[in-house]
Amino acid sequence: MSEPASLLLLPGLLCTTRLWQAQIDALGHIAQPQVADLTRDDTIGAMAERALAAAPDRFALAALSMGGYVAFEILRRAPGRVTRLALIATSARPDSPERAQQRRRGIAAIGRGRFVGVTAQLLPSLVHADHVDGPIGAIVQSMAREVGADGYLRQQAAILGRPDSGPVLARIDVPTLIVVGEDDRLTPPAEAEAMHARIAGSVLHRLETCGHLPPLEQPARTSALMRDWLRAG
C-alpha cells in the first residue's frame, strides 16, 4: 500500500481547523492532513511563507476562499512543492472597489471597538439558507469568535493587499479540482467558471444547496470529490 499523501489545508477568513474537520476525518486513511495557521500574519506573502515553512517538502494543496489567495502565492513562490491543487469557493481576481470598501468599513468598525464576529444577519451571505439555523451556523460563529478581532484585522489587511492571481492560472500544471456552491454569494459560480477556463485540465463541480463553505455545508460530497482528486493519476 502506498504511503498517504501529504495534504495541506488552507482555511478562509474567520475560519479554523473546524472548517476542514469532516475532510480530515474522511480522508485520513489516504492522506496526512495538516491545517495551516492563517491568523497570525497581515500579508498574503507572510501567510504563504509560514504555511510553507511548516509543510512537508511536497504536498497536495486544498484551499477555501482567502486560503485560495494564499494557495496562489504558494504557487508563485514554490510551484514545485505542490503536487495537486483544490480551489474551493475562491477567486483569482482582486476585490472590486465596492468589496474593498466593505472590508475597510469592517476594519474601521473594529477600530471603534465593534468586533461581533459573524452575526445572524451575516450568516445568510456565508451559507445556504437551509444551513443558517442549526449546527453549521453555530460552527461558523464559533470559528469567528476563536479567530477574534486581531486575527480578523490581520486577515482583512492581507486580503486587501493581495495581487491579481489571474496570471498564475495558465501556469498551473498539476491536477486541479475546483468546487463552488451554487448559492455562493461571495465567490459565485462565475468565478469558478473563470478559473476553470484558464487552468488546463481542471475539473469543476458546482454543489447544490451550498453557499460559501462547501466543506461544512456539503461535507460528504466535498470529501468524496477530494478523495477522487487525491487518487487521480
- Give the CATH number of the domain where residue 20 resides: 3.40.50.1820
Give the integer Cα–Cα distance in Å for 227 and 33.
Answer: 12
Q: What is the DSSP letter of 232?
A: -
Beta bridge partners of 62: 9, 86
Residue located via cell numbers 458546482: 206
Q: Are 217 and 136 in contact (CB under 8 A)?
A: yes
At 112, the pLDDT band (50, 70, 90 cuts) reads low
Q: What average pLDDT does range 40-64 have in this prediction?
A: 98
At 115, the pLDDT band (50, 70, 90 cuts) reads confident
Please name the residues in contact with 118: beta carbons below 8 A apart, sequence gap of 6 or more.
14, 126, 140, 141, 143, 144
Q: Which of 73, 80, 74 is nearest to 173 (CA)?
A: 80
Within a domain: residue 186?
yes
pLDDT tens-digit readout, 158-194: 999 999 999 999 999 999 999 999 999 999 999 999 9
Residue percentage of the chain with pLDDT more than 90 = 83
Within a domain: residue 163?
yes
Instruction: Count how many residues are written for the chain.
Output: 233
What is the model's pLDDT at position 154? 94
Within a domain: residue 194?
yes
List strands edge to edge, sheet with 82-88: 31-35, 5-10, 59-64, 82-88, 176-181, 203-207
Within a domain: residue 208?
yes
- Inform me whether the pLDDT recorded for 1 exceeds 60: no
The helix or strand, by DSSP H or E, that contains position 123, with its residue range, turns out to be helix 123-126
SS3 82: strand
Beta strands 5-10 and 31-35, pairing class: parallel
What is the model's pLDDT at position 103? 84
Within a domain: residue 190?
yes
Stronger pLDDT, 112 or 147, i.e. the higher one: 147
Q: Are 186 and 122 in contact (CB under 8 A)?
A: no
- Inform me whether the pLDDT recorded for 6 exceeds 80: yes
Range name among 7-11, 56-60, 74-78, 109-113 with the lowest pLDDT average: 109-113
- Inform me whether the pLDDT recorded for 50 exceeds 60: yes
- Inform me whether the pLDDT recorded for 111 exceeds 70: no
Quickly list H helices, 55-96. 66-77
Within a domain: residue 24?
yes
Within a domain: residue 123?
no
Neighbours of 78 (CB within 10 A): 16
Number of domains the chain is built from: 1
Beta strands 176-181 and 203-207, pairing class: parallel
Backbone torsions φ then ψ of 44, nearest 5 degrees: -65, -35
- Inform me whether the pLDDT recorded for 215 exceeds 60: yes
Q: What average pLDDT does range 8-28 have in this prediction?
A: 97
Within a domain: residue 47?
yes
At 107, the pLDDT band (50, 70, 90 cuts) reads confident
Which residues span the domain enclosing 87? 5-95+157-231
- Inform me whether the pLDDT recorded for 106 exceeds 80: no
Q: What average pLDDT does range 52-79 have in this prediction?
A: 98
Please name the residues in contact with 78: beta carbons below 8 A apart, sequence gap of 6 or more.
52
